[in-house]
Amino acid sequence: MKVFGLLVVAALAAATLVVPEPAAPVPHAPDPRAPAPYAVCPLGEAAGRTTAFPVVGGPAGQLDANVFSGGEVVATEAVTVEGSGTAVLELADVTGLARAPVLFGLDEPSRAIETIVTGDGMAASSCGPGSPDPQVVLGGTTTEGHAYTVVLTNPFAGSATVDVLAASEVGTESEPALEGIVVPPRSVVPVDLHSLLPGRQLISAAVITNQGQIAVGALHGSGEDISAMGGAGPSLDWYAPVPGLEGVSVTLVLYAPGTAEVPFQLDVYAPEDVFEAAHEDVIPARGQIAVPLADLLEGPGAIRVVSAGPVVAALRLERETGNAVVPGVPVPGPAWLLPGAGRLGAAQILVFNPGQVAVSARLLAGSGGEVETFDVPASTMVAVTLPERPVGARVEGDGDLVVTWVTAGEGGLAGDSAQPAG
């Protein structure tokens, strides 16, 4: 009996060591993030300049446009989307505020909205949800006669705190006023870099969010024209279709928001050939680098940026009476929305096929009517003209494409990257 007792206890003790512990309770995996049900347009202005917000994509429905400023929503407007999937909101119909960022509540995540600003020139900039990650704006100038303003907008309920890291031809800028900027809820904070960091020929900035979330935009006024860009997040790859515009110089601007320098190479897609690693260089940490494309590419074509670290790329277009910044596109896709294309006049739709197979593409009006069908050969950029129209267009292909648009008119230069559809 004693031996039996000893054996039982020993066996149970052994079982204690052998039986596995219960698995640590884990909650179920979160669902993938849904597309943001909103879009923020930071660069709205309703006094001095005119702002319109063309909408393309999705079925008929209704958007809620909330103009916010000074901690509150100052105006709200319901925007009806027609059956064609297009709509336009004229900001002046809603508010008279000089600086009037707008938060659109989207009833349908497949819609795209663009900010079209006119007055002292013309500019276009995509509206997006903003991000807690670094957002970069490129291609500004703060020399005399230029005004370059980074617009920090917080349409949300929580306060946000950000640092603005600026870089120019002199290197990474150090300006205490750009650190710890508080953006209160439902407010907009413009940061005039031309006042804080005057005299820079080419200046870019990364907005690092320490708390909360904001949407960023930048507006550059040269006196002759204006350009705009919404904050873009960094990526390792960038595609930049280059237009062939008379008298317009094109500069590729790259910015590395990280704390390490980033080597990169440029693949040049000229009409006649592809030049891989046509240019190699290193972007300083939290610094920018500008590459004039005239040395690499004659006429239209495309540039692919391949970097060893996260960077942001954009094209700066300049001519005597105009300038524009066209952000690069990080990921090719088969369908694109261009809400503002054509609103400032006839536009060149730049469609680049980075793949090795030709893609058949269609240019559609924003309302869905077909404008043109065309083929895009492999590794080739094709420019298609879109006539002037109030609401932009769509591009659909049977393969992955990269799409941007530019308009060169009497009023100036403007351009923007297309927004992926769906």
By the criterion CB under 8 A, which residues form the site for another protein? 2, 5-6, 8-10, 12-13, 15-17, 19-22, 24-34, 36-38, 103, 105, 129-130, 132, 155-160, 185, 211-213
Rank residues 3 and 295 by Cβ distance to another protein and give the closer one: 3
Rank residues 105 and 409 by Cβ distance to another protein and give the closer one: 105
Q: What's the chain's Rg over C-alpha atoms?
A: 25
Tokens read off for 265: 């190479």
Rank residues 28 and 144 by Cβ distance to another protein and give the closer one: 28
Taking the C-alpha atoms of residue 294 and residue 319, their distance in angstroms, rounded to an integer, is 13
Sorted by sequence, the CB contacts under 8 Å of residue 106 that are 6+ apart come out as: 36, 37, 38, 39, 63
Cα torsion through 122, 126, 130, 136, rounded to 10: -60
CB 306 → another protein: shortest distance, Å?
Answer: 28
Rank residues 14 and 177 by Cβ distance to another protein and give the closer one: 14
CB 161 → another protein: shortest distance, Å?
Answer: 10
CB 80 → another protein: shortest distance, Å?
Answer: 19
Q: What angle do CA 349, 353, 356 make, to 5 degrees?
A: 165
Rank residues 183 and 402 by Cβ distance to another protein and give the closer one: 183
CB 93 → another protein: shortest distance, Å?
Answer: 22
Rank residues 27 and 176 by Cβ distance to another protein and give the closer one: 27
Cα separation values, 328 from 40, 58, 148, 306, 393, Å:
20, 24, 20, 12, 19
Rank residues 61 and 198 by Cβ distance to another protein and give the closer one: 61
Taking the C-alpha atoms of residue 247 and residue 238, their distance in angstroms, rounded to an integer, is 25
CB 180 → another protein: shortest distance, Å?
Answer: 15
Residue 386 buriedness (CB in 10 A; 0-12 / 13-18 / 19+): buried
CB 33 → another protein: shortest distance, Å?
Answer: 5
In degrees rounded to 5, what are phi and psi of residue 404? Answer: -135, 175
Sorted by sequence, the CB contacts under 8 Å of residue 384 that are 6+ apart come out as: 348, 349, 351, 363, 371, 372, 374
